[in-house]
Amino acid sequence: MAAEMVNPRSDNASDSGEGADGVTDGEPFDPAFALHRGGKMAVQATVPVRDRDDLSLAYTPGVAKVCSAIAEQPELVHDYTWKSQVVAVVTDGSAVLGLGDIGPEASLPVMEGKAILFKQFGGVDAVPIALDCRDVDEIVETVVRLAPSFGGVNLEDISAPRCFEIERKLQERVDIPIFHDDQHGTAVVTLAALRNAAKLTDRALGQLRAVISGAGAAGVAIARILTEAGIGDVAVCDRKGVVSTDREDLTEVKRELAGFTNKAGLTGSLEAAMDGADVFIGVSGGTVPEEAVAKMAPGAFIFAMANPNPEIHPEVAHQHAAVVATGRSDFPNQINNVLAFPGIFAGALQVRASRITEGMKLAAAEALASVVADELSADKVIPSPFDERVAPAVTAAVAAAARAEGVARR
């Protein structure tokens, strides 16, 4: 028999058997359902419509003047609509958090959550869009047709390797930023934390050898940004071991990955690659044996970011590492994407950037690291998501980098 699902609370308590205390059919009150009741966001007007005069300006006939002006000068859309301050949060529900392929409807609570984080931490409006299709080209065509309404697109919870192709094809078709947060947001925050861990221990990135467990969206993006930032070496491992050029079972993405990583020419298992490594970065799940952790270099850094169960539990990691980070909020040094994506999009939208470049991501990581650069400790190599300095610092750095790289339009 299938397990009984917990039912969300009904609008009509008398019809649902629900009491005022939130108990439904004998089940204890669940604050998660209470918070999500009716959704977590709504549209709010920024201008009043109090009388006939207001109505004639906000809608017809006044709106026709603005429409005509935009038709003659399309760039005016940024000045007279919300386009330059709104992002589409797009998913197909194929790789949602740790839940996997749960479909578009079930992904909506996460997309709403992402939208309110955009607003809370970056002052950016966002609209959740869950698409009922899995074909790469269909998703691309759909988003291309939606693009005129938005200043940017945040791709979210789309499974690898499709996510790489979708992002690439979209950026070729539209002139607004396309950003897959599962890849690049994670990579930016990881680099920021690693920069500060190295600074704390008087080392440079170029002196470090890193091992990444996981060759999906996050693992590939982290490897790329660490390489761009000048890491000494980085090896990426999938379920079959080190992603290396001598393997014949690699996808196109992994073949490209093997081409710019693993300078040492390592082969074999994750555990073997960790022998003598300075950095472990986990974005895969599973459990790494403590014997492998113990063989890492002295003063190692362990960023075990699987949720809810890190690949290496902090209690184990602290016995062998100088700095430990996870993806969880109940341990120090949380590698949380919310530290990156609101400010990155805010900066890109501020200058009407046509894309988000590698230079803009590197600038975001450097700015994020600088927020706590004078406050470093083993338990503080990355700011808290609630540090009010984060979004302004990242926004300013990204906007400046966009101008420097010639992708800003104002």
| Residue count (the chain) | 410
Through-space distance between the first and last CA atoms of the chain, rounded to whole angstroms: 60
Question: Residues annotated as binding site for a divalent metal cation?
Answer: 156-157, 182
Q: DSSP label at 91? A: E
Q: Are 344 and 353 in contact (CB under 8 A)?
A: no
- Helix %, strand %, coil % of the chain (to 5): 45, 15, 40
With 0-12 CB in 10 A as exposed, 13-18 as middle and 19+ as buried, what is 232? middle
Residues designated catalytic: 59, 114
Q: DSSP label at 276? A: T
Q: Are 206 and 231 in contact (CB under 8 A)?
A: yes
In 3-state terms, what secondary structure has residue 26? coil
Helix-helix angle 341-350:104-122, to 10 degrees: 70
In 3-state terms, what secondary structure has residue 262? coil
What the block records as the tokens of 273 is: 């690659």
Which H/E stretch holds residue 392?
helix 390-404
Question: Residues annotated as binding site for (S)-malate?
Answer: 307, 336
In 3-state terms, what secondary structure has residue 280? strand
